[in-house]
Amino acid sequence: MRARDTVTAAVLLIGDELLSGRTRDVNLGHIAERLTAVGIDLREARFVPDVEDEIVAALDVLRARYDYVFTTGGIGPTHDDITADCVAKALGRELYLHPDIESIIRRREAPPEVMASRLRMARVPEGAALLENPFGPHGFRIENVFVMAGIPRVMHAMLTSAIGRLEGGKPVRSRSITAFVTESQVASPLGQLQARYPDLDIGSYPFSRGDRFGTSLVARGTDVAALEALAAEIRALVEGVGGEIVEEGDG
Amino acid sequence: MRARDTVTAAVLLIGDELLSGRTRDVNLGHIAERLTAVGIDLREARFVPDVEDEIVAALDVLRARYDYVFTTGGIGPTHDDITADCVAKALGRELYLHPDIESIIRRREAPPEVMASRLRMARVPEGAALLENPFGPHGFRIENVFVMAGIPRVMHAMLTSAIGRLEGGKPVRSRSITAFVTESQVASPLGQLQARYPDLDIGSYPFSRGDRFGTSLVARGTDVAALEALAAEIRALVEGVGGEIVEEGDG
């Protein structure tokens, strides 16, 4: 861990199917929410195909640059499941059959060839800790890399296990004000507010409901008092331009 | 365009909200599907925050590496909308107010300060071509970079405009066989099939329905005859291990 207030992370999503459009990813949003909730700042996400050089290159960049790297996908039993191999290669470690995962896999009988394929899922790099999965074979953590399944409900379980092992930063809080106001109406004063609150982030997210256009204004940061002050200023700004506030939220 | 059969692309998704979990991205899957349909091979996607250095660095890598780069997000009127600035910086071009976009924006009256913010959306790099958006300000193409909005329905329109300007590769076709068979049951023979059909890609995607587990096996490639032959072999393989086929599909 680097010595600083903010703990950072990246997500590496592995799988041809995510880039061909065959499967629509739902994991990134879930991971983003969960990390934000425990005060970890997700800084980058990359989608790469099931290609060793691509996976290893991305791992090398991301694990050097961020405190934590979370991967999804590529840990099943088939020929295109190469994430464990790539992590081992990137970290210069050997894979071995983890006895705990092996015994889970062997609980269900299978012909030798089928069992051989399934046992691929028991291969972890030397020194790895397991990320429990109640549905079957576990994921693993090695150094600052957390290797999780691509199937959402399995990934969720592994992420819960992973988060229990993390050192979080200060939790990031948010205040949101949603109003029927266009981004343009508030853009300039919002820029001035951002300049006056450099430690907080202000985001603006337009939406449409029926024929009406609106914007959610979201302030985020770790300093709750500053956040309240900024939220009050945003509220005044929106009301000042005649915007109808439809929702306020804390997070 | 590099001289080769396969036309490649990357997507760069820009926005703090995608990494904080506040907004769940739905654009990547849509772009992936549309590019695949016109025979463009999406090789990588990256999510980065609204931070100039991050956006410029990602643009530099991706535009050098792939035939096309598609960006989403960061082209609205607010202080955190910096995509046009970053693209201009990466390409060493100046921004100017595009008269066509400016006239669209000026159709709706607004106080001077509001108009000034809105006119940020008319700024494009010198030499850019426009990507039409019937809902308002256009996106743009400059060199091999296509700059699109983050709001899905606006992005869809801009992507349609972009795709009309692309030179596609050979269309990639697919054959899928979905069956109640576990990945492990077919993993080993599937690996052998992959070795025998090196020009095609075989993917396997597990799913669960109620208490039953199944797998979709998908073959992809440009050679339709080879694809049919491979699909027949996959079907025989699945039936050989007693797998119940529930669906077959062409794409």
pLDDT for residue B1 is more than 50:
no
First to last CA, chain A: 26
First to last CA, chain B: 26
Please answer yes or no on whether B204 and A76 come within 8 Å at the CB atom.
yes
C-alpha B240, offset from chain centre: 37
Nearest one of B140, B136, B115 to B125, comparing CA atoms:
B140
CA distance B129 to B115: 23
Task: Residue window 100-159, chain A: list those with CB within 8 Å of chain B.
Answer: 110, 113-118, 120, 151
- B167: pLDDT confidence band, cut at 50, 70 and 90? low
Per-position DSSP letters for B37-88, written without gaps between them? HTTEEEEEEEEE-S-HHHHHHHHHHHHHHSSEEEEES--SSSTT--HHHHHH
Distances in whole angstroms, Cα of residue A155 to Cα of each of A129, A149, A152, A220, B46: 16, 5, 5, 27, 20
CA distance A249 to B21: 15
Q: Which of B35, B184, B205 sits opposite A117 (nearest CB)?
A: B184
∠B4-A54-B75 over CA atoms, to 5°? 80
- B169: pLDDT confidence band, cut at 50, 70 and 90? low
pLDDT of residue A3: 35
Q: What is the pTM of this model?
A: 0.81
pLDDT for residue B134 is more than 50:
yes
Nearest one of B137, B50, B148 to A203, comparing CA atoms:
B50
Interface size between A and B, measured as CB pairs under 8 A: 187
B42 vs A contacts (CB less than 8 Å): 19-21
pLDDT of residue B6: 85
- A1: pLDDT confidence band, cut at 50, 70 and 90? very low
Residue with tokens 């199937």: A151
Residue extents of the structural domains in chain A? 7-163, 173-250
Contact B108, B121 (CB under 8 A): no
Nearest CA in chain A to B36: A20
For domain A173-250, is the CATH number 3.30.70.2860?
Answer: yes
pLDDT in tens, A38-55: 889 999 999 999 999 999
CA distance B193 to B174: 16
Task: Residue window 67-106, chain B: list those with CB within 8 Å of chain A.
Answer: 76-80
Per-position DSSP letters for A131-187, written without gaps between them? E--TTSS-EEEETTEEEE-SSHHHHHHHHHHHHTT----SPPEEEEEEEE--HHHHH
pLDDT of residue B2: 36
For residues A145 and B5, which has the higher predicted lDDT (pLDDT)?
Answer: A145
A17 vs B contacts (CB less than 8 Å): 203, 205, 218
ipTM of the complex: 0.80
Q: A100 vs chain B: nearest CA distance in angstroms?
A: 19
Q: Which of A48, A202, A205 sits opposite B23 (nearest CB)?
A: A205
Please answer yes or no on whether A79 and B114 come within 8 Å at the CB atom.
no
Nearest CA in chain A to B77: A184
pLDDT in tens, A163-216: 877 866 677 788 999 999 999 999 999 999 998 998 888 888 888 888 888 999
Query: Which residue, among A54, A117, A153, A173, would best test binding to B if mutated, counting the most B CBs under 10 Å from its CB?
Result: A117
- Whole-number mean pLDDT of chain B? 91
Q: Which residues contact B149 (CB under 8 A, 6 or more apart)?
A: B72, B73, B75, B76, B133, B139, B155, B158
Sheet with A129-131, strands from edge to edge, namely A129-131, A139-142, A145-148, A68-72, A7-14, A40-48, B40-48, B7-14, B68-72, B145-148, B139-142, B129-131
Q: Averaged over B27-32, what is the pLDDT?
A: 96
∠B87-B91-B95 over CA atoms, to 5°? 60
pLDDT in tens, B198-236: 888 888 888 888 888 899 998 888 889 999 999 999 999
Please answer yes or no on whether A204 and B80 come within 8 Å at the CB atom.
yes
Class of domain A7-163: alpha beta
Q: Averaged over B83-103, what is the pLDDT?
A: 97
pLDDT of residue A169: 60
B198 burial (CB, 10 Å; 0-12 / 13-18 / 19+) is: exposed
Residue with tokens 């193409």: B141
Residue A208 per-residue DSSP state: E
Distances in whole angstroms, Cα of residue A89 to Cα of each of A39, A56, A172, B9: 30, 7, 35, 27
CA distance B106 to B109: 6
Please answer yes or no on whether B117 and A187 come within 8 Å at the CB atom.
yes
CA distance A145 to A150: 15
Nearest one of A17, A69, A190, A181 to B33, comparing CA atoms:
A17
